[in-house]
Amino acid sequence: MRILVTGANGQLGRHIRRCSEHSSHDYFYTDVEELDITDRLAVRDFILTNQIDTVVNCAAYVNVDKAESEEDVADRLNNQAVDCLANMMAEVGGLLVHFSTDYVFGGNGNNTPCTEDEPVNPTGAYGRTKLSGEQAISKSGCRYLIFRTSWLYSEYGKNFCKTMLALTETKPTLSVVFDQVGTPTYAGDLAQAVCTILEKGLDAGHEGLYHYSNEGVCSWFDFTKEIARQSGHKACDIQPCHSSEYPSPVVRPSYSVLDKSKFKHTFGLTVPYWTDSLSVCLAGLGVTVNK
């Protein structure tokens, strides 16, 4: 296969690079500097010139709060660009691998893990634009894998794990939301799963929509406590607080745990537990981890 990875300088893209270093396939890595995926002519030229038959789209607009005032910008990357990639894969008979979000469930008031056929009900612009991207892929007629994920973090870029690692080291006290529950997902695990599937080859009938996060459930407060515990940051007094104490322009999902049964049954891959993956990430950041 000849595989194009877009958004290759982001959290997930950087891990896709690492996982595919010794692949038997030909990988092409681009970010906006090399290929603007909102430019349909540029995308078409790149895919045809390089005979791309698979796209792994790691590019996305992910600023949840800012999307409320920039929905048109978010839509260009999360929906219109995705529509372009999907239609190009349909034209060449290729495969699109795309990543979506638990935010498509924001308004459901769930209290059990969300399955792929759960009714969607995003509460904000970010969730709406990501859902529109999913729908564009489905309408295109291309072969696709969509992975909805949640609470993504890694050694790269700006993310909750790195922010809390710094704050729990430097702040005497910290208040963290406890009434939003989900599952942290280490980008390295998601990337490894995708690369393993591509390396083995996608079996007929396995295209479609899947949920992928690490195993387990926690709140943002629990996540922070575990970051501090594993990092040995004992001096910081971490206290739970309500989300209402941190007003936001968008309502975030209060419970967005993803059911991964379909993924595990279809691909036969083990999904790591979230605290184990956190240890891997912290070690990658140079932290001496307390088990």
pTM above 0.85, yes or no: yes
Half-sphere exposure of 61 (CA within 13 A, CB side): 30
CA dist 235 to 162, 231, 232, 289, 290, Å?
Answer: 18, 11, 9, 16, 15
Predicted confidence (pLDDT) per residue in 172-214, tens digit: 999 999 999 999 999 999 999 999 999 999 998 999 999 999 9
Q: Is the dihedral of CA 77, 78, 81, 85 positive or negative?
A: positive
How many CB atoms lie under 10 A from the CB of residue 11?
23
CATH top class, domain 2-158+184-216+256-273:
alpha beta
- Would you kindly state where each structural domain of the chain is located, as residue ranges? 2-158+184-216+256-273
Predicted confidence (pLDDT) per residue in 36-84, tens digit: 999 999 999 999 999 999 999 999 999 999 999 999 999 999 999 999 9
pLDDT band of 123, cuts 50, 70, 90: confident
Predicted confidence (pLDDT) per residue in 154-173, tens digit: 999 999 999 999 999 999 99
Using a 10 angstrom Cβ sphere, with 0-12 exposed, 13-18 middle and 19 or more buried, the burial of residue 200 is exposed
Catalytic residues: 126
Residue written as token pair 């300088």: 9
